[in-house]
């Protein structure tokens, strides 16, 4: 179909006034995955001609069954770039700019967001969604938020001072597990997977100084506190073993430590096994020399990802993945000694390691093993994505965009794809909610601060933006970067430090809290010439 013919149909459907607004608008789409592919196709077919797409990820073969803009030859290529090229086949006259980047990068600051008429979120990452929500609020740009979970989904509009924002209602907290269960008494496959991903992988290849979220500890839990002390001892032993990383002996030393010695140590705690089945320590040499049956199905038929590996296969994969990950980490450390590896469900080396070690641990504790596919789903907290759900929600999101361009933001209903009882999924509409007066995100006063990041120090920000601009006492404020305190009256060591050396760059939002309860969000932007220039600081107090 020619672009002229397509435009004529869109004019009939939308009407000339709305069609003109669509054609002349500039929209941003964040995320080019399941919803994003459907959404980008809808945007170009609906007459949107100026679109920017951003996504950090590359295409994985597992994406191909539902992310229809991608094909087999695109695997390992940028989602954003390939989505752009595929979408242009639907409408070659569209102007699409693609970015393979993190939306939280400093170049995507408030001034960048303010260029857009509407922003469409197509993300599955909670922190990224919160960031886009904050940036759209600061830039005063309407945000069409959307998401799906299996057969369920939702789409709604967020606008500063008109509707509630993404953070007005608390989000469910991630599931966590007691340290004692993960370390000593696992009883389900997920316990072994969390141990492999959040403990062992982190200790060998990640940041061993940080506790992973999956291993949270309550201060009042004495049993957990004792387990954490034991965990710390074992961690120190692993650190000593890491000295031989890169040698042929490394994999065996790790194996002997976590699958033999640590298990034998647990067996000495006889009270622990009075009402539980005792674990069985593994022997590296025994598995090497003979086949040990698994606790799950080990049929050799079918795809390797879909079947449960034998214990011997797990050992082989453990050795191989340790070698691959060690090589990668050592190469990174040659350039930067602080380099680490982080678990990513789409990282084949990391997933091989977690699958192998989780299943070896499951075998020890008589727990059914899982296939690599199942481990990926559980380790990544993945709820199966349904292509039809993505298509429905993407279509609704574009219709929300039409309503925004009509100027109907205060009356745009929230739309939910949901189920009632045992009925098939239905669409439910809900009136837009007003901003939550207690929300710490949209109800906090914000100020845009233009900064020359090549020269500006923390003290410049404190004196110019906070003391002079907001008229607050430097001795009565705290400056927070997320959950990290960068300044208060008792922590002034950073005052003469460049903002960039503190990890503070363009796009950062710093929370300033005064002792009397006032709070301000400082939205930082880059500036070429002047050190600090305050804008939009009127009526702060």
| 400 contacts 155 by C-beta, under 8 angstroms | yes
Per-chain mean pLDDT for the chain: 86
Residue 314's φ and ψ, nearest 5 degrees, are: -65, -40
Number of domains observed in the structure of the chain: 3
Would the annotation count 32 as a binding residue?
A: yes
The verdict on residue 516 lying in a domain is yes
- Asked which of 80-84, 106-110, 205-209 is least confident by mean pLDDT, the reply is 205-209
Residues 326 and 391 in one domain: no
pLDDT digits (tens, 9 = 90+) for 229-244: 655 666 677 778 888 8
Phi and psi based region of residue 401 (left: phi greater than 0; alpha: psi -120 to 50; beta: remaining): alpha
Same domain, 215 and 251: yes
Is the domain of 55 the same as that of 162?
Answer: yes
Please determine, for residue 290, whether its predicted confidence score (pLDDT) is greater than 80: no
In angstroms, rounded to a whole number, what is the distance separating the alpha carbons of residues 355 and 77?
25
Question: Where residue 60 falls among pLDDT bands split at 50, 70, 90?
Answer: confident
391 in any annotated domain: yes
The answer to whether residues 507 and 434 touch, using CB atoms and an 8 Å cutoff, is no
- Please indicate, yes or no, if residue 436 is contained in any of the structural domains: no
Q: Is 257 helix (H, G, I), strand (E, B) or coil?
A: helix
- If 0-12 CB within 10 Å is exposed, 13-18 middle and 19+ buried, where does residue 369 land? buried
Are the C-beta atoms of 313 and 299 separated by less than 8 Å?
no
Question: Is the same domain home to 159 and 185?
Answer: no
Q: How far is CA 528 from CA 138, 251, 452, in A?
A: 21, 51, 6
31 is in an annotated binding site: yes
pLDDT tens profile 447-463:
888 898 889 999 999 99
Both 161 and 275 in one domain: the answer is no
Identify the band that residue 119 occupies on the pLDDT scale cut at 50, 70 and 90: very high
Which helix H or strand E contains 379, and what residues bound it? Answer: helix 372-379
Do 210 and 329 reside in the same domain of the chain? yes
Inside any domain, residue 212: yes
Instruction: Flag whether 230 is in a domain.
Output: yes
CATH code for the domain in which residue 514 is found: 3.10.290.20
Q: Are residues 236 and 295 in the same domain?
A: yes
37 is in an annotated binding site: no
pLDDT tens figures, 369-403: 999 989 988 887 656 678 999 999 999 999 999 99
Taking residues 513-526, report their average pLDDT: 86
33 is in an annotated binding site: yes
Is 64 labeled as ligand-binding?
yes
Q: What is the C-alpha separation between 94 and 92, in angstroms, rounded? A: 6
- The pLDDT-based confidence of 528 (bands split at 50, 70, 90) is very low
pLDDT band at 228 (very low <50, low <70, confident <90, very high): low
CATH number at residue 192: 1.10.10.520
Task: Flag whether 516 is marked binding.
Answer: no
Summarize pLDDT for 30-56 with one digit per residue, the tens.
999 999 999 999 999 999 999 999 998
| Catalytic residue of the set 26, 37, 136, 180 | 180
Residue 437 within a domain? no
- Model confidence at 220, pLDDT cuts 50, 70, 90, reads very low
CATH number for the domain spanning 411: value is 3.40.50.720
CA-wise closest residue to 380 among 353, 352, 346 = 346
Residue 540 within any structural domain of the chain? no
- Kindly calculate the radius of gyration of the chain based on its CA atoms and give it in whole angstroms: 27
Give the domain extent around 64.
3-172+385-430
Same structural domain, 126 and 187: no
Cα(189)–Cα(365) distance, integer angstroms: 10
Same domain assignment for residues 257 and 108: no
- 37 classed as catalytic: no
Burial (0-12, 13-18, 19+ Cβ within 10 Å), 257 = middle
Same domain, 355 and 221: yes
Please determine, for residue 63, whether its predicted confidence score (pLDDT) is greater than 80.
yes
At residue 297, the pLDDT reads 47
24 lies in the same domain as 164: yes
pTM over the 0.85 mark: no
Q: Are residues 133 and 153 in the same domain?
A: yes
Mark residue 407 as left, alpha or beta (left: phi above 0; alpha: psi -120 to 50; beta: remaining).
Answer: left
């Amino acid at each position: 179909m020619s672009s002229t013919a397509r435009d004529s149909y869109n004019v009939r459907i939308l009407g000339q006034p709305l069609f003109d607004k669509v054609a002349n608008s500039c929209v941003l789409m964040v995320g080019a995955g399941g919803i994003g592919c459907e959404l980008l196709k809808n945007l170009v077919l609906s007459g949107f001609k100026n679109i920017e797409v951003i996504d950090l990820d590359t295409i994985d073969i597992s994406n191909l069954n539902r992310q229809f803009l991608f094909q087999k030859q695109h695997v390992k290529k940028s989602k954003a770039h390939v989505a752009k090229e595929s979408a242009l086949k639907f409408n070659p006259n569209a102007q699409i700019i693609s970015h393979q980047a993190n939306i939280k990068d400093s170049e995507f600051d408030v001034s960048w967001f303010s260029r857009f008429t509407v922003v469409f979120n197509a993300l599955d990452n909670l922190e990224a969604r919160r960031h886009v929500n904050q940036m759209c609020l600061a830039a005063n740009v309407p945000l069409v938020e959307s998401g799906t979970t299996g057969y369920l989904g939702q789409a709604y509009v967020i606008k500063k001072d008109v509707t509630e924002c993404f953070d007005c209602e608390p989000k469910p907290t991630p599931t966590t597990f007691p340290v004692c269960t993960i370390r000593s008494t696992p009883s389900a496959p997920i316990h072994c997977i969390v141990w492999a991903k959040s403990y062992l992988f982190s200790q060998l290849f990640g940041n061993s100084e940080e506790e992973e979220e999956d291993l949270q500890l309550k201060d009042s839990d004495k049993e957990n506190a004792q387990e954490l002390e034991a965990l710390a001892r074992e961690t120190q032993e692993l650190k000593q073993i890491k000295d031989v990383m890169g040698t042929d002996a490394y994999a065996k030393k790790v194996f002997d430590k976590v699958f033999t010695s640590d298990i034998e140590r647990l067996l000495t705690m006889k009270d622990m096994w009075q009402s539980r089945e005792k674990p069985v320590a593994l022997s590296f040499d025994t598995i090497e020399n003979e086949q040990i049956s698994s606790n799950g199905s080990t049929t050799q038929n079918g795809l390797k990802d879909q079947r449960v590996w034998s214990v011997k296969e797990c050992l082989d994969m453990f050795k191989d993945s340790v070698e691959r990950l060690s090589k990668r980490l050592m190469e990174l450390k040659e350039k930067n000694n602080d380099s680490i590896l982080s678990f990513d469900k789409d990282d084949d080396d990391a997933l091989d390691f977690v699958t192998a070690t989780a299943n070896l641990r499951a075998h020890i504790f008589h727990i059914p093993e899982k296939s690599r596919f199942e481990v990926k789903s559980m380790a990544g907290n993945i709820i199966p994505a349904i292509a039809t759900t993505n298509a429905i929600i993407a279509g609704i999101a574009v219709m929300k965009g039409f309503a925004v361009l009509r100027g109907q933001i205060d009356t745009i209903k929230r739309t939910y794809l949901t189920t009632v009882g045992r009925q098939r999924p239905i669409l439910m509409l809900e009136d837009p909610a007003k901003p939550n007066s207690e929300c710490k995100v949209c109800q906090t006063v914000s100020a845009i601060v233009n900064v020359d990041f090549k020269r500006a120090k923390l003290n410049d920000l404190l004196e110019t933006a906070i003391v002079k601009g907001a008229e607050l006492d430097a001795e009565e404020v705290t400056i927070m970067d997320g959950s990290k305190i960068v300044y208060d009256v008792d922590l002034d060591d950073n005052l003469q430090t460049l903002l960039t050396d503190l990890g503070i760059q363009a796009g950062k939002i710093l929370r300033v809290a005064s002792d009397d309860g006032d709070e301000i969000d400082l939205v930082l932007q880059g500036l070429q010439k002047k050190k600090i220039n305050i804008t939009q600081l009127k009526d702060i107090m």
